Amino acid sequence: MSLINLWSRKQDKQQLFESLLAPYIEHLYKLAYRFRGNQADAEDLVQDLLIKLYPRTQEMSGVENLKPWLDKILYHLFIDQKRKESRSPINLKSEDLDENTETNHPLTFINTQSQENDRYLEQVFQALNELNSDQHSLIILHDLEGYTLSELEQMLETPIGTLKSRLNRARGKLRELLMEPNSNSQRYKQMRG
């Protein structure tokens, strides 16, 4: 005997939720990975985001361009997480946790022909993590995701002047961290010609 499902708003909502978000999960995972730097934390961040979004399904269906809308909420969630973590007395970084595991290496890189090259990219990644989370996420959203500063002004609810100086400090700090004489940066440059 089979059961016919009675029409339900709940089902409609679930379907709507899934159809709205399914196209963006991979993008959100990648962005979350860039924010968090490892797979487990990236997945957690996306999970938290979707839990927050489900009650807003109806609202989402009216959003014209969903990608920046989602990126914005993901960003704020990431910043919240970082704040909570920094307030927490026990501050475990995930790299401390899985130090001895195979998955320790947070990133794999394209251009693996050269180990030197890899090392430089790894340094860049580490330097990125030394920025504060505001600077870090600005570099990701602006330099990697390609949002212009005026788009980010809306998205991050921060005046453009503040964003400009934040970007300047972030890039400056990255240069500083990567610029020691005779560093890999020099060799990377030589290699790339």
- Write out the residues near other proteins by the rule CB under 8 A: 1-7, 10, 14, 17-18, 21-22, 25-26, 29-30, 33-34, 39, 43, 46-47, 50-51, 53-55, 107-111, 120-121, 124-125, 128, 139, 142-144, 148-149, 164, 167-168, 171, 174-175, 178-179, 185, 188-189, 192
Q: Closest separation between CB of residue 85 and other proteins, Å? A: 21
Tell me the Ramachandran region of residue 111: left when phi exceeds 0, alpha when psi lies from -120 to 50, beta otherwise: left
Q: Closest separation between CB of residue 138 and other proteins, Å? A: 11
Q: Closest separation between CB of residue 132 and other proteins, Å? A: 17
Q: Closest separation between CB of residue 48 and other proteins, Å? A: 9
Residue 45, classified by CB atoms within 10 Å of its CB into exposed (0-12), middle (13-18) or buried (19+), is buried
Identify the DSSP state of 131. Answer: S
Tell me the Ramachandran region of residue 92: left when phi exceeds 0, alpha when psi lies from -120 to 50, beta otherwise: beta
Nearer to other proteins, 72 or 121 (CB): 121
Identify the DSSP state of 144. Answer: I
State both tokens at 179.
């610029």
Nearer to other proteins, 86 or 114 (CB): 114
Nearer to other proteins, 86 or 103 (CB): 103
Q: What is the Cβ-side half-sphere exposure of residue 71, based on CA atoms within 13 angstroms?
A: 22
Task: Find out whether 129 and 33 touch, Cβ atoms under 8 Å.
Answer: no
Q: Closest separation between CB of residue 159 and other proteins, Å? A: 16
Nearer to other proteins, 79 or 127 (CB): 127
Q: Which of 164, 46, 36 is nearest to 152 (CA)?
A: 164
